[in-house]
Amino acid sequence: MLRRRYVAFSPLVLFLFAYIFVYVAPYYGDLFGGDAWVLKLSSQELDVGVENVRYFFYSWAAGVLVLVPFYLRRAKLESNRFALIPLGTTVRVVSLMLLVYFLYIGSGVDFNPVAMVDRMINPRAYTYIKEGFGPLIFINTCMQLIALFMVLNGFFSTKRKVYLLLLLVVVSSMILGGGKSQFLMVVIFSALLYQKSGMGGKVTLGRKIGIFALFLLLMLGAFFSAFVAYGDSDKKADAVDVLSAVVDYQREAYYSAKVAKDFDWDPEFVLVAVVDTATAVVPRFLWEDKPYFGFYNRYWRPLYEPDTVTYHTTTYGALAEGHMVFGGLGPFFYGLLWAFFVAVLYKRIVLASKLHTFFVSVYLSCLVYFFLRAGFLFSTPWNVVIFSAVSYMFLSRLERRGHGRV
């Protein structure tokens, strides 16, 4: 349908990858020797879960088949390359990134050198520090991704080896003290920027298939590497154990079915969604008695995980969120919402003519997997707002100077 306007590794592919991983693979977890959480569901819960997963996908597919061709009906896919940002500017941004990273790693441990190094190596032992440091975490991630974007653009444009050294510095800062998401973000940023630098009529179908296969393998490799690095230590014996850990980790299909069975829709849920999302941006140092909010803390944790610590943040999936907001129509409405989201991202990736627009589109593409797990409400939209604002301050300034045009 899209012909030359088709991008091999795109938000569409990222959504399908995430959908299969989060909502389909868990139903086959027993094949990999895992705990197969969904098989612990009752027959009634299992039926509800499967129906919701199907209706969500059917709704999404119908929306995408209409929206993506509609958005690109007059689009002309050309070979583009972002203007090269000067090496000196890139070095300064990387240096600023390292300064923010130093503040991030040192905060919460009194900038003790030994504790900072330990936090870089064992980040899971310091998850409690996230409480009260949300804005700093967002800004640190934003600076890392801006630096990654500028370094990758410089390398794809010039092939100079100095950019590989800068890339090593940026990627190391993302992985050391980071989380599993950083592994995926490196691959997705690389794939989408690489395609943007060479897309167009001259790219043959065979090359597009090759690009898709290469980056899909890299993304799978990054995903497994993340679980080896940050997964449970007792599930690293071999590849099968890692695969089992990956499948067991995805519990959204299980919890979405539980939520759909246990909670009848109530207008109170909509009010909670609105109020808690609006106040999520207020930091705890300004609101000392700020409660732990959201569907998880108000309804789900007391019922399903009452013994977890207060800063625990299990994700229950976008389908569970959709059920709380729209009831039985949740899978259909959220399917269409996701179709709209992915279609807009696809359009932005293909047609972006400004550095900041493309950068934010790539960032949101990276979050497709995480949005599918965490939903769109509460802290999620504020994460995007803060990220967009910080990145705009940097990248729009480059554009005003005449850089960053495609």
Helices assigned H by DSSP within 231-329: 239-249, 252-262, 267-279, 294-295, 301-304, 318-326
Query: Given this model, what pLDDT does residue 79 score?
Result: 46
Stronger pLDDT, 237 or 86, i.e. the higher one: 86
Stronger pLDDT, 54 or 351, i.e. the higher one: 54
Query: Given this model, what pLDDT does residue 2 score?
Result: 66
Q: How confident is residue 263, by pLDDT bands cut at 50, 70 and 90?
A: very high
Query: Does residue 341 register a pLDDT over 90?
Result: yes
Most confident of 51-55, 202-206, 381-385, 390-394: 51-55
Query: Does residue 67 register a pLDDT over 80?
Result: yes
Closest CA relative to residue 173, chosen from 114, 98, 115, 104: 98
Q: How confident is residue 15, by pLDDT bands cut at 50, 70 and 90?
A: very high
Query: Does residue 274 register a pLDDT over 90?
Result: yes
- Mean pLDDT in the chain? 80
Query: Given this model, what pLDDT does residue 19 score?
Result: 93
How many Å is the maximal CA-CA distance in the chain? 62
| Average of per-residue pLDDT across 123-137 | 68
The pLDDT tens digits for 17-60 are 889 888 988 877 656 555 567 778 888 888 999 999 999 999 99
Percentage of residues in the chain having pLDDT higher than 70: 79
Query: Does residue 155 register a pLDDT over 70?
Result: yes
Query: Does residue 109 register a pLDDT over 50?
Result: yes
How far apart are the C-alpha atoms of 148 and 190, rounded to whole Å? 9
Query: Does residue 306 register a pLDDT over 90?
Result: no
Query: Given this model, what pLDDT does residue 302 score?
Result: 87
The pLDDT tens digits for 205-227 are 677 677 777 777 777 777 666 66
What is the secondary structure of 113-177 as a DSSP string?
Answer: HHHHHHHHH-GGGGGGGGTT-HHHHHHHHHHHHHHHHHHHHHHHHH--THHHHHHHHHHHHHHTT
How far apart are the C-alpha atoms of 334 and 329, rounded to whole Å? 8
Query: Given this model, what pLDDT does residue 157 score?
Result: 77
Most confident of 242-251, 298-307, 396-405: 298-307
Q: How confident is residue 272, by pLDDT bands cut at 50, 70 and 90?
A: very high
Query: Given this model, what pLDDT does residue 323 score?
Result: 94
Closest CA relative to residue 379, chosen from 303, 307, 283: 283
Q: How confident is residue 201, by pLDDT bands cut at 50, 70 and 90?
A: very low
Among 45-49, 72-76, 79-83, 279-283, which stretch is predicted with the lowest mean pLDDT?
79-83
Percentage of residues in the chain having pLDDT higher than 90: 23
